[in-house]
Chains A and B, each alone.
Chain A
């Protein structure tokens, strides 16, 4: 299975919102509501931010929200803060117990 497509970069000023897209196919993102989003700071392990398209694990601020339309999932970070500057990766179930990640998006807080 091919990697999911994400824009390489996104940016916003503090307090603004930024939305990252994650485009797959009708065999992965479009077929299942098993899209997750991970945040990764430099030199650190990824951290789960969103699962099942829209759900937030406990402890994740409600500034982070997820959505999906067709074969494209999105992560929105509202009220951007300096600590939100990181790489973000989407992942999706792709059938037959397979998982696929996106190429990653670097979010910069201006």
Chain B
């Protein structure tokens, strides 16, 4: 079945970086782009950006320009999201989600909790 399996929870110091992985299975990885969305505790969903898994092109939300890097490894059918210069406000659950077209996300990972604390 189609699924996205994300890496485990992370605890980071302010100023550090974190890299979250999202392994896809059950479908052709390069046929669907991948979005990244985060959710701070008790807050709404926040779109971070997306990557074209076929050619590696990315689009990042202006809010994260310069701090977020989206990559993928097609041989491993895995997408990655790296966020740098972490601050406490980056404490959140980070989700990857498959893009089915028409700006909809039809399959979601279970989320990766990233905690930024000194």
What is the minimal beta-carbon distance from A35 to any residue of chain B, in angstroms? Answer: 9
> With A38-B45, A91-B47, A104-B45 in contact, is A98–B59 under 8 Å at CB?
yes
Question: Which residues of chain A are within 8 angstroms of B56 by Cβ–Cβ distance?
Answer: none
Q: Mark B30-52, 1 if CB is under 8 A from A, else 0.
A: 00000101000000111100100
What is the minimal beta-carbon distance from A21 to any residue of chain B, in angstroms? Answer: 15
Among A48, A92, A96, A101, the residue within 8 A (CB) of B106 is A48
Among B35, B45, B100, the residue within 8 A (CB) of A89 is B45
Q: How far is the CA of A100 from the CA of B49 in the complex (A)?
A: 10
B104-A36 in contact (CB<8A): yes
Contact residue range for chain B?
20 to 34
The answer, yes or no, to whether B87 is at the interface (CB within 8 Å) is: no
The answer, yes or no, to whether A102 is at the interface (CB within 8 Å) is: yes
> With A45-B109, A104-B44 in contact, is A98–B61 under 8 Å at CB?
yes
> With A46-B95, A99-B35 in contact, is A52–B45 under 8 Å at CB?
no
B44-A34 in contact (CB<8A): no
Contact residue range for chain A?
20 to 34
Closest to A105 in B: B44
The answer, yes or no, to whether A83 is at the interface (CB within 8 Å) is: no
Question: Which residues of chain B are within 8 angstroms of A34 by Cβ–Cβ distance?
Answer: 102-104
Closest to A47 in B: B108
B108-A46 in contact (CB<8A): yes
Closest to A50 in B: B104
The answer, yes or no, to whether B110 is at the interface (CB within 8 Å) is: yes
A100-B110 in contact (CB<8A): no
What is the minimal beta-carbon distance from B43 to any residue of chain A, in angstroms? Answer: 8
What is the minimal beta-carbon distance from A86 to any residue of chain B, in angstroms? Answer: 13
B residues neighboring A (CB under 8 Å): 35, 37, 44-47, 50, 59, 61-62, 95, 97, 100, 102-106, 108-111
Q: A34-B102, A36-B103, A48-B104 are in contact. List 9 more A-B contacts (CB 8 A).
A: A38-B105, A40-B45, A45-B108, A46-B108, A47-B108, A52-B104, A93-B103, A96-B59, A99-B103
User: Mind listing 8 A-B residue pairs with CB under 8 Å?
Assistant: A40-B45, A45-B95, A45-B108, A51-B106, A57-B106, A98-B47, A98-B62, A102-B44
